[in-house]
Structure 1
Amino acid sequence: MMPMRFLIPLLAVVFVPGPFGTIQAAEKPLLFEKDIQPVLAAKCGKCHSDKVRKGGLDLSNITGVHRGGESGESAIAETVDDSMLWILVDGGDMPPEGQPQLTEAERKLIHKWIDTGAKSEKPHQPEEKQITQHDVLPIVLLRCTAC
């Protein structure tokens, strides 16, 4: 038989709630495709989809969210409060009046998703910036006109 001095600590470990007695379920991360994209499609898709890109913004896929629109990057920022997507949602500017509005639960979901790193099932590959004449002309004028 097990001595009493071992039995009491063993029972305490088994029956005491907390990290010793139970296994805590890990919270699943919010993902764009499963958690956020359906909300954005329902509430923002009329104006910001792959077919209609009002303000140059496509919220139908993670690449479009990262790319942003005319106002800048929409979801990626150092903090959630610097995220253009959150600024427009939190300020009540988007969705505009007359369009289906985000519920409080949807707003909290978007906030938490951005705050936890705006994760996606597919890793985001930053697009290569295309060089245009606007990038080259200042260099040419600065370096080559003296020749």
Structure 2
Amino acid sequence: MESTTCYFLAGSFKTHGYETCKSGRLYRELAYVISFLPYYWRAMQCARRWFDENDLNHLANMGKYVSAMVAAGARLTYSRQESHLWFFIVLITSVVATVYQLYWDFVKDWGLLNSKSKNLWLRDDLILKNKSIYYMSIVSSPSI
């Protein structure tokens, strides 16, 4: 996606100058923008909901997307500046973002591990009547 966008923005698709999008400054900066945009949009949606509803859970949810942006930025920087320090930063930010996202998805969104729920280990308010669908989706979730 980064390469395709670069080729169109740089106009190198007309000249077939493929090196433009492999070593140019535009390509390097575009890689950050493209990797951040989905997380940024979701973070801004959470910020808007916090602003509208004044519920701190939306700020905590926004933190999930901010941690993903930090981890993505660290990985991109490490791919350009391989060093032990950047490897350590990538490792720490990736672990923090992964644990944060898994916790939020399992505990907050799905209600998993909520022993006080009227639905065994799920949240109280379920959209679907058949609980087995929720359990099957948790076990077969591709995001794990």
TM-score bucket (shorter structure): under 0.3
Question: Highest Rg: 1 or 2?
Answer: 1
TM (normalized to structure 1)? 0.26
Structure ranking higher in helix proportion: 2
Higher relative contact order at CA 8 Å, sep ≥6: structure 1 or structure 2? 1
